[in-house]
Structure formats: C-alpha cells, structure tokens
Chain A
Amino acid sequence: MTPESSSRDRVLGRVRRALADAPEAPEITRDYRASHTPDDPATVLDLLHGNLADYRAGVQRSTRRDLPAVIGRLLAGHGAGSVVVPPGLPEAWLAASDTRRLPDDVPLTPAELDSADAVVTGCALAVAETGTVVLDAGPGQGRRALTLIPDLHICVVDVPGQVVASLPQALPRLDPTRPTTWISGPSATSDIELDRVEGVHGPRTLEVVLVVD
C-alpha cells in the first residue's frame, strides 16, 4: 500500500468512526425563492442593467444592427489600439472598428495578452439579481485567460435569450463540465481600509452591451 492510499483509508476510517453514532440529519429544505423578481422580461432587464451599473460596469443597450457601431465606439472611446478576438466571435461585431485584431485561434502567449488593450466576447448567461455575466468558454468567449489579462473587457449579452433573473434559474442552464467564470463588475479590492479600488489584477474596465431587439 502506498503512503497516500493508506492516508485515504485513514481519513475515511476516521470519518466513519466519527459518524458511527450520529443521528440522521434533518431533510434538506428548499422553500427559498426561485427568483425575487417579477416574471417580466422588461423588469428583469432593468434590474440587470441597474445592478451591473451599481457594480461600476459600463452598460449600453443596443439593437443587433447597431452592435458593431457600439463596439467600435467603445473600443475607440477607451483608446484601445488592439483587441483580442476569441474563436467563434461573430465577424460582424468588429466590422465597424479599425482596432488591430489579435485572434486567439493559435493561442496567444501571456505576454501577448498582456500587451493587448481589449477583448470582446459574448457570454453564456447574465444574472439580473446579482448583476453578473457568466462565461463558459463557448464560441465567441474563448479561454478564461482572454477576459482576464487585457485591461478592457467588452461583453455582449443577448436579451432576453441569455438573461435570467436569479441564481436558481442560472445554474440549471450551465454545464458543470465546462470551465466557467462569473463576472460581477470590474476587478476590485477593498483590502486597504475598505476603500474600493477597481482593477487590481483583472480588467479595470468592464463594458456590457445588452442587445435588445
């Protein structure tokens, strides 16, 4: 027996001995709410908008047709000279921008990502009650590092298809076998006298575009 497998037996043995006389635990209750928000798409959208903004994300609403122009304006407005493009991002989204593109089809190195100014992605879901966008590394989102190293992240949310009201509504729609990143506002710290500072290690700026037609 290797030392580690004997540790496994030791720990499991201790757990079983510790529980030998333990009574069965009371049944799990789930009488909490599945959602705290009226089941009305406009209300849910307004809540998402408000909560994203409350966490200091920039929020824009756009039609599908105007999306390339909105993305182009955001990139230019933040002075982005280069933008990381995840595999599968709809080409049209960047059609109105002349920012230099850095496709990740052949994975960029951490140093290349560090020299990029921005990244544009879609998402898997957005959760209104918490003001969260969830990325699951699907097409148009790319691997997790892409939305971490460049200083500006522009995230496009398809409304209403990708919007849910609450956490209990979000989890069943996500695939646990995929790596997921839940993002609520830009990177932040409150470690110095509890003063909130944005952009310690992740992107300093999060811009969310809600596509609403």
Chain B
Amino acid sequence: MSGTYLGMPSFPEAARDAVRDVTLRGNLRRATHTIRDKRAGAVAELDDWGRLREAGKRIKDHTLRHLDRYLVQVEEAVTAAGGTVHWAADAAEANAIVTRLVQETGESEVVKVKSMATQETGLNEALEAHGIRAYETDLAELIVQLGKDRPSHLLVPAIHRNRGEIRDIFRSEMSEWGRPAPEGLTDTPAELAEAARLHLREKFLRARVGISGANFMVAETGTLVVVESEGNGRMCLTLPETLISVVGIEKVIPTWRDLEVFLQLLPRSSTAERMNPYTTMWTGTTDGDGPRAFHLVLLDNGRTDTLADEVGRQALRCIRCSACLNVCPVYERAGGHAYGSVYPGPIGAILSPQLRGTASAIDASLPYASSLCGACYDVCPVAIDIPEVLVHLREKVADQGGKGHRLERAAMRAATWLLDHPAALTAGERLASKTRKLHPERLPGPGARQWTNSRDLPDLPAEPFRDWWKKNRA
C-alpha cells in the first residue's frame, strides 16, 4: 500500500505514545462514544435490521464468489454508457494510470473527494512527484492535508484533532494552499467550516479534473454511487470536465435493486443517520450534465490475495462504515495512527495484513491489536466475523515464526521445566519474595521488555502462598 507507512514500528510500539496522550484519548473517547450511541438508536428504528444485515452479507458473498463475472459486467456497462475502464494490478499501476490521464488533460491541479482507495495507493504523493497538486476537499481530509498529518479514522479522519488544533492549522497553513484563513478566525466549528467553504470554493469553481472513489458500483447498470454529507463530493463529481474514479474491485454489487439493502445499512452504521445528506449516482457520461469524460480505474492491490484466503476473504465484504472502530476498546485508546495503515481499527487489523502480507513488523503485529471482545462483529452491518479472521491471521503469523515467537516458545519451555520440578519452584518463590523490593518495574531483555513496556508487572506477595498455607492451615 502507500509508501507513507513503510517502516512503521509494530502496533504496540506505535501505540505506546498514543495511549499516554491525554488529549488524544479524550478526543477519541468523546467521539467514538457519541457515534456509537447514536448508531444504536438509528439501527433500533429498523426492526428488520438483522435480516437486512444477512441480505447484505449474502449479496457481498455472492458477488465475491462470482467476482470475475461481475467485474466484466461492470466494465461492459460503464463502457456502453460512455465511460472508459482501466485495470490496475497494484498501487503503482493505478497511480501511473491516473497520472497519465491527468497529464492528458493538460491540467496540473485536481480536486479530490475523500477516497480510501487513493489513500491506499498514495496517489497524492505520486501526482505531486509529477508536478500535479491534488486538493483534498472533505473537511476532515483538508484538516489532515493542511496539517501534514495522517488520517486516523475511516469516516472522521481528523477525529484526533480538537477545534483549537484545527484553528491553528487553518491559520498557519491555508495561505500555502490558496485562500488564507479569515482574519481573527476563532475555534467555533461554524467559523472553521465557513473558512473551509471559502478556501475550497475557489478551487471547485475552477477545477477541470476531479478524482473520487466510490461506495458501490452496480454491475447490471454500470452505475457508480458516492455517499457523503458536505457536498464536496457533489462538487468533485459534477463540476469538472474529467472525472477519474479509482475503485477497489470488491466494491461491485450485482443489481440496481441491491442498493436498497446497502443504502439502508451504510448511513445508519456509519454516521447514525437515516440517510446521509447527499448521494450521487452516475452512469457513464450524460450530455450537458456533469463531466464529459469519465474514467473508472479498477484496483486490485492485494484484494485478490485476500480473496484467495477462505477465512480472510470475508474482509472484502467491508463497506467502510467504521462502526467497528467506534466500539473497539483498543482503537479508543490507541487511536488510528498506531495501525500504520489507511484502514485503522478492527477492520484495519484484518484488512491491512491481508492486502499487504505479514512480512513487516506492523503487519505481523496487527492481528494482535485486539482484545477479541467481539464488539466489532456485533455492529458490523455485513457481519464480518473480525475475531475469527484475527485468530486465523494470528495462526498464520505464528507459523511464519520470527523473533518474538521464538522468545515466547523459550519462555514456555522454561515454565514447563519449572512446574515439573517442584523443589526448584519453591526455592524460586521464596527467593522472589525475599528480594521483592529490588525488583525492577520493567523486565530486561528485548522480548521481556516489550512485554512490560505496555503492562505493569504484578506485585509479589510477602511470602509464597504455599508457605502461608503451611503456617496457617496445615
């Protein structure tokens, strides 16, 4: 995936600073609890939620089972409607296609509606390397871009920033990118949103190329669907002359009718609304309305590897609603950055190591970034059994070996020997009790230190239990 995250340390290491950042934890806790409570209310309005969820799950599983057929169908339908379809096997190829398409328009600026696929491929950086500037237009993405930061939540990428931090970013950075922040900008959300409106409107009105992802693409009709709230999506999708959409191959659904399931599941799960303020649907190009040229880039980038895994492939059902992030006790404390990927939280913990493989420290650690409490599975609108996939991936990581696991095995062997030799155990316990004032708070050694860096060592009792029992009961 994106070069941005290469060389990320493992999850526990990356999370260490985050869990000690009181501001970050406060921002995250407030935000995730607010959304999760509202979501429960929105879901409770539909007494057939369980049946919708099962339908969503089955439609996605059916589509994935026949993905080749539906991809060919969507290609035919988009082409027949006046669009052009491109195929990208990996991130580099997708970026090269988009760069070439932008260059062919002669433009050096593009406006973008928030898209996970292009974050995944690191498109903005790739365009920048060719002298093309990409403006993120979703308010939260703008905050992230101006702050030279990384997104930390699927739906609310700047969830880790509070209003004061956002005001400071706008004041110091907006002028670099275009219209500066108004004089005397305060930190009220209304004023901050107005500053973003003014800053971006001049870009929307002159933009000739727009770049998007899509929430769904309908094989039967060739229709693409983008759901959003602010109207920046509508701006990017309808005002430019050329529209380029980069879409993961798993986003296809078979029929127009299937939207009746997903348009009920997605808004309620993600923003806890009956419906998001704006949904745009377009099929190829239409004379006199919207872009004159439409390009669809179908992106693999590790999805077919995920599809090949019989347990892990269910992660491709994901509709990116982010409900799992908002209920996850680990995400709530560690924040999104620690996951080292554009996909944070429980879904990131199973999606990233499958899309990228588990060779790196961060990807090998992600399946462990969970307490396996199962809350993510309960809220998932397409019933992805995230704990099942986490355990499955842990098995794979353990099988591939590595330093951490050799140490774990050595510790287990030592413990087995000790338990088999009671005299040695008794002696060890007594020694430990006598020397307990001298015990360090952190264990030495690379593996053991890693363990105690994120955990407190238990206090030892003044005497071993077996000695106490002999004195008092025997």
Given contacts A32-B48, A110-B205, A180-B281, contact A200 B139 (CB under 8 A): yes
CA distance A177 to B257 in the complex (A): 14
Binary interface encoding of chain B residues 325-366 relative to chain A, with 1 for a CB under 8 A from any of its CBs, else 0: 000000000000000000000000000000000000000000
Specify the chain A residue showing the minimal Cβ separation from B53: A32
Contacts of A192 in B (CB 8 A): 139, 158, 163, 166, 189, 192-193
State the majority secondary structure of interface residues on A: loop
Partner of B46, one of A30, A36, A199: A36
Check if B276 is an interface residue, CB within 8 A of chain A.
Answer: yes
Check if A59 is an interface residue, CB within 8 A of chain B.
Answer: no
Nearest-Cβ distance from residue A27 to partner chain B, whole angstroms: 7
Partner of B163, one of A12, A127, A193, A202: A193
- Most B CB contacts (10 A, CB to CB) among A170, A176, A182 go to A176
CA distance A183 to B218 in the complex (A): 20
A178 touches B87 (CB 8 A): no
- Most A CB contacts (10 A, CB to CB) among B81, B86, B290, B304 go to B304
CA distance A27 to B81 in the complex (A): 30
Check if A1 is an interface residue, CB within 8 A of chain B.
Answer: no
Given contacts A184-B276, A200-B193, contact A179 B281 (CB under 8 A): yes
Contacts of B313 in A (CB 8 A): 18, 22
A190 touches B87 (CB 8 A): no
State the majority secondary structure of interface residues on B: helix
Q: Please report the number of residue pairs spanning A and B whose Cβ atoms sit closer than 8 angstroms.
A: 248
B189 touches A167 (CB 8 A): no
A11 touches B290 (CB 8 A): no
Nearest-Cβ distance from residue A88 to partner chain B, whole angstroms: 13
Check if A77 is an interface residue, CB within 8 A of chain B.
Answer: no
- Most A CB contacts (10 A, CB to CB) among B59, B218, B264 go to B264
B48 touches A7 (CB 8 A): no
Nearest-Cβ distance from residue A162 to partner chain B, whole angstroms: 17
Identify which of A38-46, A68-76, A92-100, A141-149 touches chain B. Answer: A141-149
Specify the chain B residue showing the minimal Cβ separation from A57: B277
CA distance A51 to B274 in the complex (A): 9
Given contacts A176-B281, A190-B229, A193-B162, contact A32 B189 (CB under 8 A): no
Check if B89 is an interface residue, CB within 8 A of chain A.
Answer: yes
Check if B201 is an interface residue, CB within 8 A of chain A.
Answer: yes
Contacts of A32 in B (CB 8 A): 48, 51-52, 55, 261, 264
Binary interface encoding of chain B residues 33-65 relative to chain A, with 1 for a CB under 8 A from any of its CBs, else 0: 011000000000111100110110011011011
B196 touches A200 (CB 8 A): yes
A30 touches B275 (CB 8 A): no
Contacts of B9 in A (CB 8 A): none
Contacts of A191 in B (CB 8 A): 138-140, 143, 156, 158
Given contacts A192-B139, A193-B30, A199-B197, contact A176 B221 (CB under 8 A): yes
CA distance A26 to B220 in the complex (A): 20
B93 touches A7 (CB 8 A): yes
Kindly identify, within residues 112 to 161 of chain A, every residue whose CB is under 8 Å from any CB belonging to chain B. Answer: 114, 127, 129-132, 137, 143-145, 148
Specify the chain B residue showing the minimal Cβ separation from A3: B93
Given contacts A176-B256, A191-B158, A194-B34, contact A182 B89 (CB under 8 A): no
Check if B98 is an interface residue, CB within 8 A of chain A.
Answer: no
Pairs A–B under 8 Å by Cβ, sample size 24? A4-B87, A12-B68, A15-B71, A22-B65, A26-B58, A30-B55, A144-B290, A167-B259, A176-B218, A176-B223, A177-B221, A180-B279, A184-B273, A184-B278, A187-B229, A188-B277, A191-B156, A192-B166, A193-B189, A200-B229, A200-B231, A201-B197, A201-B204, A201-B230
7 nearest A-B pairs in the assembled complex, by CB-CB distance: A202-B231, A14-B304, A18-B308, A130-B275, A201-B231, A182-B279, A143-B289
B interface, CB within 8 angstroms of A: 27, 30-31, 34-35, 45-48, 51-52, 54-55, 58-59, 61-62, 64-65, 67-68, 71-72, 81, 86-89, 93, 97, 137-140, 143, 156, 158, 162-163, 166, 189-190, 192-193, 196-197, 200-201, 204-206, 218, 220-221, 223, 229-232, 234-235, 238-239, 249, 256-257, 259-261, 263-264, 267, 271, 273-283, 286, 288-290, 298, 300, 304-305, 307-308, 310, 313
